[in-house]
Amino acid sequence: MKKVLSTLSAACLMVLVFANTANCQQKIKLLNGKTIYPTSYSIGEMFVNYKLEGDNPKKLRLVDKYDVFSVTDAENKEDVLYKPVDSLDFSVEDARLYMDGENAARTYFNKPGVKISAAGVGLASGVLSFYSLPIPFFYGIAITQRNPKKIQIPEEFKNMENNEAFRFGYNREARNIKMKQSLKYGYISLGVSLATLFLIVK
């Protein structure tokens, strides 16, 4: 019995240690919503310098301070580098909500119709041969002019749906996703179309 209790105590201790380590992981949070997890970092006048696990000791990575929202040290203390320049900029809290919107779009936004329509445009434009090359690009621009009609997020985040900063971040990232998907599937299908046309003519 003592051995079992001892084993359980050791296991609980390991869980607590790992949990504490995970919670105290250093972070560099970028204004585009992405997060970097460095092994070390330092804040300079113009850049945040950092290293990632496995980096060459002589290698130094840089990120512009104006692209960084905050850095969090190993003791989980956050240092917010973002500072609104004028009244048109987001406040610190709104900037957080904006980044949350970007992350929500990356996680939950899905528009299969974009892939299908872009593939259709790529296939159809292949008949124009060389002149078809810019068509998928212009189609991508066209479909990103409109924001998503509905925000795709779980029910527990629905209270954020009408927040202006959150929605702005979500819409912007959703448009980026639509553009990337449109270009990818548009040019893949265009390549297939041109290759097929070449084989037929040949």
Q: Best-predicted range by mean pLDDT among 91-100, 158-167, 190-199?
A: 91-100
Residue 1 has pLDDT above 50, yes or no: no
Angle, CA 82 vertex, CA 81 and CA 85 arms, to 5°: 130
Q: What is the pTM of this model?
A: 0.73
Which H or E element spans position 90? none
CATH 1.10.3470 fits 2-80, yes or no: no
Q: How many CB atoms lie within 10 A of CB 174?
A: 24
Confidence of residue 8 (pLDDT cuts 50, 70, 90): very low
Q: Are 185 and 122 in contact (CB under 8 A)?
A: yes
Q: How many CB atoms lie within 10 A of CB 201?
A: 7
Distance CA 125, CA 142 (A): 16
- Chain mean pLDDT for the chain: 84
Where in the chain do CATH 2.30.30 domains reside? 2-80
Give residue-wise pLDDT tens across range 42-83.
999 999 999 999 888 888 899 999 999 999 999 999 999 999
pLDDT at position 24 is 60
